Each structure stands twice: as structure tokens, then as C-alpha cells.
Amino acid sequence: MIVPVPGFDTTVRLAIQRAFIDGRPTPSVATVAAELRARASDVASAFDRLAAGHVIVLAPDTHDIVMSAPFAGRPTNFAVTIGTSLYHANCVWDALGVAAMLAGAGQRVDAEVRTSCADCGAPVTVHVRGGAVSADPVSSVAHFAVPAARWWTDIVFT
């Protein structure tokens, strides 16, 4: 049974998010431990608990972060530009989530999400301006293939 350590796990979670927000490389156990001046073993355990709780996603048998929603740990086809910062998201929901998360924290956010049509590969851009969203081409729609009940069956595919 995995027992959460609420305060420390939150500290680790927020350190992970801050690394992404600041545009630093995908955080690791070592970088988070150094930042928090914590033992690497304690941070690794926190990573495991966060992964077990579906807060982050780790590559199998590693502590390498694949996802810390809304951020992707590796480049993806969902690039989010906010000012001079470039982020990679796990999907178009997460891509808009980057903007929503920063706006929720009090930042004024105008964003561009660049992706491509899953069918024809044509570029698709979603703009966030003044709290409103628009898409180019305007005919763009969002599509989720996997029903909600099965999202975590294979979250990377989802």
C-alpha cells in the first residue's frame, strides 16, 4: 500500500511544475532533490507516490517524467507559446491547460497552441486572446478517441 506524504509530495509536485514553467529541462529526481535540498531517495519515493496517484506519469521502471499535466516531459505535437516561452503538452486539452493553469495563478495569458490535424496533417493553431479562444482553421474541432472510463488504461495513447 502506498501511503502519501501530503506536504512533501505537494512540495515535490510544485517543484516539478515550476521547472516546466521556468523552461528548465524536464525535472529529475536529482534536480528536484537539489532544488529542495532533500534526499534523492525521499524525492524518488515522492515521484513514485505521485505516479501511483496519477498525478505524474513515469516511463516504465524509471523515474523519468513522461507527463506532469499539463506538461509533457518530451517534445510533442502540441506546442504552446506564451510570450517568449515554449511548452510541450500531452494533448490539445493539456495544451489549453497550460494557458488556463497560468491564468489561474494570476498571470495574464495570451497563448498559441500549434498542432496538426490527425487526419491530413495540416497545421492547426488555437489562439487564446483576452480569455477567449479561436481556431485556425475555424472548422477545427476537438476529438477524444478514448472514453473517459478508459483514459488511464494507456494514458500515453489517450
Question: Do the beta carbons of residue 102 and residue 108 sit within 8 Å?
Answer: no
Residue of 34, 52, 142, 156 that binds other proteins (CB under 8 A): 142
Q: Residue 75: in which H helix or E strand, if any?
A: none
Q: Phi-psi bin for 150: left (phi > 0), alpha (psi -120 to 50), beta?
A: alpha
Cβ 46 to other proteins shortest distance, Å? 15
Residue that the C-alpha cell 502506498 belongs to: 2
**Which span (29-37, 40-48, 50-58, 77-85) binds other proteins, by CB under 8 A?**
50-58
Query: Are the beta carbons of 29 and 63 closer than 8 angstroms?
Result: yes
What is the contact mask toward other proteins in residues 94 to 113, using x (rule: CB under 8 A)? x-xxxxxxxxxx--------
∠134-140-144 over CA atoms, to 5°? 110
Helix orientation angle between 6-21 and 29-36, rounded to the nearest 10 degrees:
110
Stretch touching other proteins by CB under 8 A, among 37-45, 58-66, 73-81, 137-145:
137-145
Nearer to other proteins, 57 or 92 (CB): 92
> Of the two residues 79 and 103, which places its CB atom closer to other proteins in the complex?
103
Chain contacts with other proteins (rule: CB under 8 A): 10, 14, 17, 53-55, 69-70, 92-94, 96-105, 118-119, 126, 128, 133-135, 140-149
